[in-house]
Amino acid sequence: MATTSTPLRRLKRALAITALGFATSAAFAHGDVTPQAVDTHTLKALGDTWLESNPYRGDKEAIRIGESAFTQNCARCHGIGAVSGGIAPDLRYLPAEDEGDEIFIMRIRNGASRNGRVYMPPFEGILQQEAMWAIRAWLETVHVE
Ligand code: HEC
């Protein structure tokens, strides 16, 4: 019996190579993250303790800053206006209010990595807490149930 290139083996190998190709291009697309500084001096300062719910919910100035901060730091993966093009979750569907706040702050601080691959970079130490909650304040204005 032939042990090398049966049609099934060839098919399996082709599929494996395709999967590898997808993984590599995804890693590449996510590799060029250059975080942008966000000016939050017009917002109430939040101090060093991490909050669990958004102190700026509904705040006009925070929403204004948050939209621009999102466009500069998140839109390349999550899409302009938070309308996802498919490479990252559509953040308009993040739950509203405190439930969504909790998911949001955990994810933006820690990012997302699995098996040594970075799907989303951590923003703790890069964006201030003020900028993070400003982004969340804007995100809630485009929320979809
Ligand atoms: C390099 C691409 C990339 C960038 C930049 C990025 N993200 Fe993500 N984000 C992802 C991916 C991919 C996931 C899904 C992670 C997973 O599969 O575990 C994700 C998940 C999330 C989630 C969780 C969504 C859910 O439904 O649970 C939130 C919240 C989030 N990102 C917010 C942000 C914010 C805010 C920014 C900007 C400060 C940002 N992300 C920047 C790629 C990115």
pLDDT for the residue numbered 33:
57
**Together in a domain, 3 and 47:** no
CA gap 132, 16 in Å, rounded: 39
Overall number of domains in the chain: 2
Q: What pLDDT, on a 0 to 100 scale, did the predictor assign at position 25?
A: 40
* Together in a domain, 19 and 4: yes
Q: What is the pLDDT of residues 92-109, one digit of tens each?
A: 999 999 999 999 999 999
Query: What secondary structure does DSSP assign to 38-62, as a single string?
Result: ---TTSPP--SSPPSS-TTTT-HHH
Pocket probe for ligand 1: among 33, 74, 117, 126, the residue whose CB has the most ligand atoms within 8 Å is: 74
Query: Are residues 9 and 47 located together in one domain of the fold?
Result: no
Q: Is 6 in the same domain as 58? A: no
Residue nearest to atom 43 of ligand 1 (CA): 120
Give the atom of ligand 1 at the shortest distance from the alpha carbon of 93: 26
Q: What is the pLDDT of residues 7-24, one digit of tens each?
A: 666 555 555 544 444 443
Q: Is 89 in the pocket of ligand 1 (CB under 6 A)?
A: yes
Ligand 1 atom at minimum distance from 69 CA: 38
- Whether 16 and 41 map to the same domain: the answer is no
Task: Clarify whether residues 24 and 40 are in a common domain.
Answer: no
57-52-93 Cα angle (round to 5):
60
Domain of 93, in residue numbers: 35-141
Based on the fold, state whether residues 83 and 18 are members of the same structural domain.
no
Whether residue 25 is found in the same domain as residue 44: no
- The residue whose CA has the least distance to atom 16 of ligand 1 is 112
- The Å distance, Cα 8 to ligand 1 centre, comes to 38
Say how many Å lie between the CA of residue 122 and the centre of ligand 1. Answer: 9
Q: What is residue 103's predicted lDDT score, i.e. its pLDDT?
A: 98
Are 23 and 45 found together in one domain? no
Q: Residue range 132-145: average pLDDT?
A: 97
* pTM for the predicted model, two decimal places: 0.82
- CATH code, domain with 93: 1.10.760.10
74 Cα–ligand 1 center, Å? 7
Instruction: Tell me the mean pLDDT in the region 72-78.
Output: 97
For residues 20 and 54, membership in a common domain is answered with no
Does residue 75 sit in the same domain as residue 133?
yes
Distance 36 CA to ligand 1 centre (A): 16
Specify whether the CB–CB gap between 92 and 142 falls below 8 A: yes
**One domain for residues 71 and 135:** yes
What is the arithmetic mean of pLDDT over 25-50? Answer: 75
